[in-house]
Structure 1
Amino acid sequence: MGCLGNIIWFIFGGFVGGLTWFAAGVLWCITIVGIPIGLQCFKLADLSFWPFGKEVVYSASTVSFLVNFLWLIFSGFWLAVAHCISGVLLCITVIGIPFGLQSFKLAKLALMPFGAQVVLSTRY
């Protein structure tokens, strides 16, 4: 399911979702202070292009809380809204439910991307 799901996802929305993460990364990298945030955006663009077979693991720290707060104000809210709208539209059909769930996973990640680590899924 992972390979086929990723191909279908990429064709029907993953490309656009990944480009939004990439564009956010480019905008953050324009400033010197925003480069670490932009680099994280590039990592998450890869997840947005190919989300099946990967999971997100969160760890909490004070630094990630502060950076997440800045991220939410300037970029995260709009990315989360876009992924939520995409998720709702995908969940309308039974076939689209797995893709909608991936979109909701990305919406949560858009709200709190720092302190998150993408790992390969161990589920079959």
Structure 2
Amino acid sequence: MRLILNVIWLIFGGLYLALGYLLAALICFILIITIPFGFASLRIASYALWPFGRTIVDKPGTRPGALIGNIIWILLCGIWLAIGHLVSAVAMAITIVGIPLALANLKLIPVSLMPLGKEIVPVDSVRTPA
């Protein structure tokens, strides 16, 4: 089922969203100080291409630099990428088949706003607290 959803996702919006993240990465690679944002954007671009079967978790440990970096990210790229996910989610939710795709778009909004300090992992490797 994940394969089918990922293929449908790729055709109906995942490719365009991943291209948005690639554009954000290119913009971030122009300036030396924003290179970490570029790498975060590339990680999210791969997630935006194939989201089903993977999830986002917080990296362990405190990261005070990530908070400052995330604020800068929101101002530079994050708000535009989140708006893209929201618009895409609304368009996909029009049909019954598109509802899981819309939910995947909504799942991408938090990481598009604050990508630093996050990690993308397979769903099977996530441990739930006992």
TM superposition score normalised by structure 1: 0.94
Unaligned runs of at least 5 residues, structure 1: none
Hey, what does 1:100 align to over in structure 2?
Answer: 102
- Matched residue, 1:26: 26
SS in 2 for 1:56: strand
In 1, Cα distance between the equivalents of 2:84 and 2:44?
A: 15
Tell me the equivalent position of 1:63.
Answer: 65
Aligned pairs for 1:69-84 within 5 A: 69-84=71-86
CA distance in 2, matches of 1:109, 1:84: 13
Q: How far does residue 93 in structure 1 lie from its aligned partner after superposition?
A: 1.8
Give the share of equivalent positions with the same residue, in percent: 35
Distance across 2 between alignment mates of 1:5 and 1:24? 25
Corresponding residue of 2:128: none
Unaligned runs of 5+ in 2: 126-130
Separation in structure 2 between the aligned mates of residue 99 and residue 14 of structure 1, nearest angstrom: 9
The Cα RMSD (Å) is: 1.3
Q: Which residue of 2 aligns with 1:3?
A: 3
Deviation sequence 1:26-80 (CA, Å, 0-9, x none)? 1100111111110111111000011110000124521111100000011100100
Rounded to whole Å, the distance in 2 between the matches of 1:99 and 1:16 is 14
* TM score, norm. by length of structure 2: 0.89
Which whole-Å CA distance do the structure 2 matches of 1:53 and 1:76 have between them? 23
